Chains A and B, each alone.
Chain A
Amino acid sequence: MSSPKILIVDDDPDLRQALKLRLRANHYDTVHAVDGYSAIALAYKEHPNLIILDLGLPAGNGFVVLDRLQADDKLSSIPVIVLTARDAQSSEQRALEAGAAAFFQKPADNAELLSVIRATLPKATATALPS
């Protein structure tokens, strides 16, 4: 099996680039979406093992993306880690209720983010495999 594939959804190009460098250095494959709409489209097309999702997005914010993912049988098993500049107090609970597996506020500690990615992935890779 090749490296786990992670979909990065963020509208800030610099942050996408930074996250890509960080994840690739840790042997993850990455694909990128810049808005809510293309996030869903890419999730269908690429079937990532995990999604890292910003909340403040054009064309369907992070909550819309979470709802769409949850509502789709093919996508609902993909774990989502929310990584946002929004305030934890106002958004964390809502994101977790909407189905996110974890919530990080920017700037997130790299080591912590990577360890949560590792902890969340195995289940995902198992379910993403064809039976």
Chain B
Amino acid sequence: MNDPSTHVLMIEDNPGDADLVRLRLVESKAPVDVSCVDRLADGLAFLAMQPPAVVLLDLNLPDSQGAETFRKVLEKAPDVPIIILSGQDDEGLAVRALHQGVQDYLVKGTFTSAGLDRAMRYAVERQALLRSLEMSRKQQLEFKNQFLSHVSHELRTPLTCIHQFVTILLDGLAGEVSAEQRDHLATILKSVNQLGAMVRDLLEASRVEAGKIRVEPHCVSIGDLIRLAVAMTRAAAHQKQVGLEIGVDTRIPFVHGDPDRILEVLINLIDNSIKFTPSGGAVTVQACLAPTDPDFVYVSVADTGCGIDPKAKALIFERLYQDPNSIDNSRKGLGLGLFITKELVTLHGGRIWVASEPGHGSTFSFTLPLYSLGKLLFPVISKDGALREAIVLVKVNLKARSNPPRGNWKEAGRRSLELLQRCVYLDKDVVLPPMTTSRPEQTFLVVASTDLTRAEIMMSRIRGQLEKLPDLKASCELEVSACAVPLPDLAAGPSLEEQVQEVASRVTEMARSALGMERNSTQENEEPAGDPA
């Protein structure tokens, strides 16, 4: 190799093999500097400290065997070229290794010194090429997103201007408007709003693609969200003389999801259905439970519209898909709505699909995970097959000093939650998903696997962090308290699952009183901290 200081790390436990490789390297007269370790753990430590130019890797080491060995090295040092030097001529393993990012696979005893030298040089070149390709791909993506963000920003200013003056004319602020003029202005406004929606979709889709969309799971009522979405789309349905109906099973427990995103999904689907349904038709939004799939709620938006061609069904959620048979053929839209919708549902861990028969309407269905406290608690409050020794429920209460609260109350809650997440140990504590609330009081609950004495440390950390939030201290009173969760009696010999379930229902009980909720809530699905069943 040309670089006088080419540094090679050899991970090889057989001293004879190691010497042979060294000999080959000396013969090739390439100026290399070889470090050799005989265990994978030592190799990984070496990689972390001073990444070499190339790694020569034996697969069967005292502390790791076969494919596992190169997987671990790739994970540790994805940018360092790896050449496997194996005793086995295993073509299958070699191909697998190359697919995962290994640069070359040489069989011991079959290569010459010149061959090894060349393999090393080419491995370094290929790795560098790969890295620069990856970088330029990232740059291009970044550039595209920046461009889209810039374009949509620049489009918005003239759009706003048109919107403003059209509404000024329509509202009669610039003098009387005739009925015909009003009609024309309403058409302009409709088009401007369409344009605005496209700009929004453009940005949203680029964000989805870049993985920049965050889902912040709460404990939410799907019924409430459906009612809200229907209220927000009612005007559009009315205008088109399309009926809009709701059917929600009241027994549905809370859903584990981001209320803003779920609302976006619902509105997208309802808007879409209204768009493809002729006057006199109807759109029905339903939510129900499926006995065969107890962890999810099924939500559907059904219309009596033109239906979807079977061939199009597979493509409909793809980015940039436009329906060629759209009723309003001149206005197809960007073909981003369902793509965004699918991505949002997937981010929640749900599925989305469509059932349709041409001429007989379409039904879009999606699933969302139900909120289960037991499932959330299980990995946190159990360890090595047993319940933790002590469990504490920490309550963090933010009470606004004024009603309605000053500033952005929702945002303050979001920021507090983010800070709270940083105050806990992820493996043994969990911040419960908050309830969406419009009250001037927000309560966050943390279930911590610790005792009351040690909970004090967490509580002072929480107080310290939250008090650092600008504005929060001025606008709210902060109260942090803790109480022990009584653990189930082990004498009866319940299984770990039963114990966790028992703790979950006790936490639910305590959460209910912490949130000031009536014990006998009017509806089953008004439970604060989850589904104890």
Contacts and interface: CB of A to CB of B under 8 A. Distances in A.
B210 to A, nearest CB: 12
A72 interface: no
Nearest to A70: B470
Contacts of B163: 107
Interface stretch (A18-26, A27-35, A38-46): A18-26
Given A85-B153, A85-B157, A92-B411, A18 B207 contact: no
Contact of A22 (B153, B159, B173): B173
Contacts of B346: none
Interface string A91-116: 01100110101110111101000000
Interface string B193-231: 000100000010001000010000000000000000000
A21 B407 contact: no
Task: Tell which of B164, B165, B404, B411 has the most Cβ of chain A within 10 Å.
Answer: B164
B159 A107 contact: yes
A102 to B, nearest CB: 7
Interface string A36-54: 0000000000000000000
A14 B207 CA distance: 30
A107 B160 contact: yes
Interface centre among B160, B163, B167, B407 (most CB of A within 10 A): B160
B236 interface: no
A74 interface: no
Contacts of B161: 12, 14-15, 18
A25 B173 contact: yes
A123 to B, nearest CB: 8
Contact of A106 (B157, B404, B406): B157
A2 interface: no
A107 B193 CA distance: 9
B345 to A, nearest CB: 19
A86 B404 CA distance: 27
Contacts of B173: 21-22, 25
B408 interface: yes
A21 B174 contact: yes
B406 A101 contact: yes
A22 B171 CA distance: 10
Most B-side CB within 10 Å, residue of A22, A90, A92: A22
Given A15-B160, A87-B153, A101 B407 contact: yes
Interface residues of A, number: 27
B411 A96 contact: yes
A50 to B, nearest CB: 14
Given A15-B157, A25-B173, A97-B471, A107 B196 contact: yes
A89 B408 contact: no
Interface centre among A89, A90, A92, A119 (most CB of B within 10 A): A89
B168 interface: yes
A18 B470 contact: no
B126 interface: no
A96 B157 contact: no
B470 A22 contact: no
B365 interface: no
Contacts of B149: 87, 90
A89 B210 CA distance: 14
Contacts of A99: 471
B418 to A, nearest CB: 10
A15 B408 contact: no
Interface string A46-84: 000000000000000000000000000000000000000
A89 B152 CA distance: 13
A97 B414 CA distance: 12
Given A87-B149, A87-B153, A107-B159, A96 B165 contact: no
A122 to B, nearest CB: 11
Nearest to A54: B157
A51 B305 CA distance: 47
Contacts of A97: 470-471
A97 B207 CA distance: 23
Nearest to A106: B160
B45 to A, nearest CB: 40
B375 interface: no
Interface in B382-422: 404, 406-408, 411, 415
Nearest to B192: A107
Given A87-B153, A89-B212, 6 more contacts: A22-B164, A87-B203, A90-B149, A101-B406, A103-B408, A107-B192
| 5 closest residue pairs by CB, A with B | A18-B164, A106-B160, A107-B163, A85-B156, A107-B160
Interface of A: 12, 14-15, 18-19, 21-22, 25, 85-87, 89-90, 92-93, 96-97, 99, 101-103, 105-108, 110, 119
19 contacts: A12-B157, A14-B161, A14-B165, A18-B165, A19-B164, A21-B174, A25-B171, A25-B173, A85-B156, A87-B149, A89-B212, A96-B408, A97-B471, A99-B471, A103-B408, A106-B156, A107-B156, A107-B159, A107-B192
